[in-house]
Homo-oligomer: A and B are copies of this chain.
C-alpha cells in the first residue's frame, strides 16, 4: 500500500473530531471547523452525545457510515492506540494528535506508548501530524485550530513545532496585513516532520514565503538538502528554539527534541540560503517584509525617523543593521537651493524633521520623495505623524510629547497632519521606491487621565495602519526592527542573484 502524501492528508473530504463537545475543551477543534465552514463533511465523535453543535455525533470513528479522510483527536494518551486502530480499520488517511504527555515527558512508559502508536499507524496506513501539537490552519479549506483566526487566505506558510508559537506567529503576522495559505503546528513529529512540510510548501505554487519554528530536526541531511532547493525560489525564514543550555533542556521537555549546537545550526542555515532569526517578532518582521517589499538588492536607505537625537540614533541603528545611510546626493542639494529652501546646506540623510520648520513649503515628506526618485537610493524608512501624538507645543499629547517647536518632534513626528495626508505621502514615496513605515507600539499607561486621551489617538493610529496595509506598505514599531528586516531581505535577494 502506497503511503498517503501530505498533499492528500491536507485535502480531506471529511473530518472526524474525537472528543468533540458543545462546550469546554472538546469544543475548540470542532468549533473552529464549524466557524471556518469546512468545505467537506464534519463528524463529531463522542459516545456521550447524540449530536454536537447540532451535527449528528457517533460513539467511535468506526461507527461513522461514510468514509473519513482526516481525524483530529484530543483524547487522553492511553486511548490513542485504540483510536489509531479504529482509524486504520476505517481507512483514515491522516490524524492530527493534539494529545500530549508522550516522549516529551521523558518517562519510559510514555515513550513506549508513542512508539506503539506509530507502529499501529504505519501498519494501518494512517499518517500522523503530531502528537503534542495544534495541527492545521488552512483557511482556504476551512480548516483551523482556533475559531478566532482570520478567515482570509494568503501566500505565507508556517511549520512550527510549537503550538503556542504557531498561534503567536499567526496572530502577529495577520495583524500586519499578511495572511496564510497554511500553517501547521507539528509537535513531536513522529511521522510527518520538518522535511515533509518544507518540501510541500516548496512545491505549492500558491505559497511565496515559508516561516518555520524548529526545536530539533528529525532528518538533518534531508532537511538541508530540501532547504537549499526551496530557497532558490522562495524565502524561508527560520527560528530555532533551544539555542543555549536551558533552552535545550526546555526543548526536550517540550517536544522531545534534541537541540543541536547553535554555531553548527547557524552555519547550515546560512549556507542553505535561508534566513535565520532569533525572536518571534523578528520572524514576523522578516516575513512581512518579504510579503510587501519587491526583490531589493541594494542597501542604500533614505531615512527619516524624527528630529534631533532620534535622527542621530536612526542613522546609527540603520548602519548597525547593515544598511548604508548614504549622504544626500549633490543633485538633491542643488535642487533644494534652486527651490529656495533656506537651509538647503543643512538638510541631510537621515532627514531631520526640524527641516520643515524654517520653510512652509518644504518638509520631510518632500525630501523623502526626492530621495525616492533619485537613483542613489534603494529603499526608504520613514516615520509617520499621528495627529495629536506629539505635535506642536501646547498640544495635549503627553505620551508623544517632549516636542519643542523646532528640534524635539517625537519619533513619529509630522509628515502631515491628517491620516489621509499621511497615507497619501507614503504612497507617493512608494510609487518610486519601497517604503517601510514606522508606527510605535503602545506601552501600558499607569496614568488613568492620560489613558483616555491616548485611546482617541490610538484609534487614529489603527486607522492609518489599516490604510497602509491596503496600500501594500509594511509598518514596524522601531527603526532597528525595520532596518534589520530590510537588511535580511536584501541579503536573501543578493544571494539569490549570485
A246 touches B466 (CB 8 A): no
A163 touches B308 (CB 8 A): yes
A165 touches B106 (CB 8 A): no
Is A160 at the interface (CB under 8 A from chain B)?
yes
Q: For the complex, what is the distance from the CA of A279 to the CA of B317, rounded to whole Å?
A: 8
Is A233 at the interface (CB under 8 A from chain B)?
no
Which residues of the partner chain B approach A396 to less than 8 Å between Cβ atoms? Answer: 148
Which residues of the partner chain B approach A308 to less than 8 Å between Cβ atoms? Answer: 162-165, 254
User: 1/0 per position for A283-314, CB-CB distance to B under 8 A?
Assistant: 00000000000000000000000111111110
Q: For the complex, what is the distance from the CA of A354 to the CA of B98, rounded to whole Å?
A: 14
Closest to A325 in B: B246
Which residues of the partner chain B approach A316 to less than 8 Å between Cβ atoms? Answer: 241-244, 246-247, 278
A402 touches B167 (CB 8 A): yes
Which residues of the partner chain B approach A172 to less than 8 Å between Cβ atoms? Answer: 443
A310 touches B352 (CB 8 A): no
Minimum CB–CB distance from A237 to chain B (whole Å) comes to 15
Is A444 at the interface (CB under 8 A from chain B)?
yes
Which residues of the partner chain B approach A477 to less than 8 Å between Cβ atoms? Answer: 441, 443
Whether A394 touches B28, Cβ cut-off 8 Å, given contacts A177-B446, A404-B163, is: yes
Q: For the complex, what is the distance from the CA of A245 to the CA of B303, rounded to whole Å?
A: 14
Minimum CB–CB distance from A166 to chain B (whole Å) comes to 6
Q: For the complex, what is the distance from the CA of A118 to the CA of B133, rounded to whole Å?
A: 70
A28's partner among B147, B311, B393 (CB-CB below 8 A) is: B393
Task: Tell me which of A9-17, A47-55, A195-203, A408-416 binds B.
Answer: A408-416
User: 1/0 per position for A320-364, CB-CB distance to B under 8 A?
Assistant: 100001110000000000000001011011101010000000000
Is A497 at the interface (CB under 8 A from chain B)?
no
Whether A397 touches B254, Cβ cut-off 8 Å, given contacts A403-B167, A451-B462, is: no
A312 touches B242 (CB 8 A): yes
B250 touches A407 (CB 8 A): no
Contact-residue bracket for chain A: 35 or more
Whether A244 touches B401, Cβ cut-off 8 Å, given contacts A165-B310, A279-B480, is: no
A443 touches B175 (CB 8 A): yes
A311's partner among B31, B254, B318, B446 (CB-CB below 8 A) is: B254
Which residues of the partner chain B approach A306 to less than 8 Å between Cβ atoms? Answer: 164
Whether A148 touches B27, Cβ cut-off 8 Å, given contacts A172-B443, A477-B443, is: no
Is A249 at the interface (CB under 8 A from chain B)?
yes
Is A469 at the interface (CB under 8 A from chain B)?
yes
Is A107 at the interface (CB under 8 A from chain B)?
yes
A313's partner among B24, B28, B279, B392 (CB-CB below 8 A) is: B279
Which residues of the partner chain B approach A405 to less than 8 Å between Cβ atoms? Answer: 25, 28
Closest to A394 in B: B27
Q: For the complex, what is the distance from the CA of A244 to the CA of B461, rounded to whole Å?
A: 32
Is A132 at the interface (CB under 8 A from chain B)?
yes
Is A447 at the interface (CB under 8 A from chain B)?
yes
A394's partner among B23, B107, B345 (CB-CB below 8 A) is: B23
Is A100 at the interface (CB under 8 A from chain B)?
yes
B249 touches A348 (CB 8 A): yes
Closest to A346 in B: B105
Closest to A353 in B: B164
A134's partner among B107, B150, B404, B439 (CB-CB below 8 A) is: B404
Which residues of the partner chain B approach A149 to less than 8 Å between Cβ atoms? Answer: 398, 401
Q: For the complex, what is the distance from the CA of A224 to the CA of B130, rounded to whole Å?
A: 58
- Write the residues of chain A forming the contact surface with B, with a CB cutoff of 8 angstroms: 23-25, 27-28, 31, 98, 100, 104-107, 132-134, 145-150, 160-172, 175-177, 213, 215, 239, 241-247, 249-251, 253-254, 278-281, 306-313, 315-320, 325-327, 343, 345-346, 348-350, 352, 354, 392-394, 396-411, 439, 441-448, 451, 455, 458-459, 461-462, 464-466, 469, 475, 477-478, 480
Q: List 12 A-B contacts (CB under 8 A).
A: A23-B394, A164-B402, A171-B399, A171-B400, A246-B326, A247-B319, A250-B350, A250-B352, A251-B312, A254-B311, A254-B312, A280-B313
> Other than the known A27-B393, A167-B403, A168-B402, what 4 A-B pairs have Cβ atoms closer than 8 Å?
A105-B346, A167-B410, A247-B312, A279-B480
